[in-house]
Amino acid sequence: MKLYTFFRSSAAYRVRIALNLKGISYEAVPIHLSKDGGRHKTAEYRAINPQMRVPTLMLSNGDTLIQSLAIIEYLDEVYPEPPLLPADAVARARVRGIAQIIACDIHPLNNAGTLRYLREPLGHDQAAIDAWYASWISSGFDAIEPLLRSGPYAFGAQVTIADLCLVPQVFNARRFKVPLDRFPKIVAVDAACNKLAAFDKARPENQPDAE
């Protein structure tokens, strides 16, 4: 199994956590998103993932899977222990709701391609870009904070897909110096998750392509 990844990609970060939690061995194939104009834009990588984004998971039979949440749910179906979704249907929907606030609302507005477009074609300076970034994280976290259950994790005693999405987004918030003082539940969940080896091993600075 191969994971096409980039150390700072929060979407790839989510999948790394899932693979680690499931105890699945994989080969990391770094795809740098800025060197040489972005190595995800090469014809070779486009043949693997037509969207030209990371992550891509290549299975042992050569099948390829794209989009982090789809990959994580595939892993949860094929490797069911430990489960990343609750057994109850309502609880599953709530967990997915938190994950989607991050993956569908916050992340697309703050990913590398969006920020590059703000900087280059639109001509915004770094201060404006940083303010844009902080705005979307803060509004998303404002929604997530009251949705979190009693800890230690986002939905109680079991790590779920919500945690896999939340921890990389907190990493991004800190990287861009977004204040987190008004999100004590989110900060506590992040701290609890990062005590687990699967999360620590997945951290950007612990990846072979880290800079």
CB 165 within 8 A of CB 103: yes
- My answer on whether 156 and 101 are in the same domain is yes
- My answer on whether 66 and 96 are in the same domain is no
What letters, b where the CB count within 10 A reaches 16 and e where it falls short, cover 148-186? beeeebbbeebbbbbbbbbbbbbbbbeeeebebeebebb
Residue 173 maps to a domain: yes
Assigned token pair, 178: 């977004």
Model pLDDT for residues 124-173, shown as the tens digit of each residue:
998 999 898 999 999 999 999 999 988 899 999 999 999 999 999 999 99
How many other C-beta atoms lie within 10 A of the C-beta of residue 98? 22
- My answer on whether 21 and 117 are in the same domain is no
What is residue 116's predicted lDDT score, i.e. its pLDDT?
84
Domain extent for 69? 2-81
CB 92 within 8 A of CB 76: no
Residue 96 maps to a domain: yes
Residue 60 maps to a domain: yes
We report the CATH number of the domain holding residue 70 as: 3.40.30.10
Residue 12 maps to a domain: yes
What is residue 108's predicted lDDT score, i.e. its pLDDT?
85
How is residue 103 annotated by DSSP?
Answer: I
What is residue 115's predicted lDDT score, i.e. its pLDDT?
84
Q: What is the pTM of this model?
A: 0.94
Number of folded domains in the chain? 2
Assigned token pair, 93: 């929907």
- My answer on whether 44 and 93 are in the same domain is no
Residue 204 maps to a domain: no
Quick one: which H or E segment has residue 100?
A: helix 89-100
Q: Which residues of the chain have pLDDT under 50?
A: none
We report the CATH number of the domain holding residue 129 as: 1.20.1050.10
What amino acid occupies position 70?
A
- My answer on whether 95 and 191 are in the same domain is yes
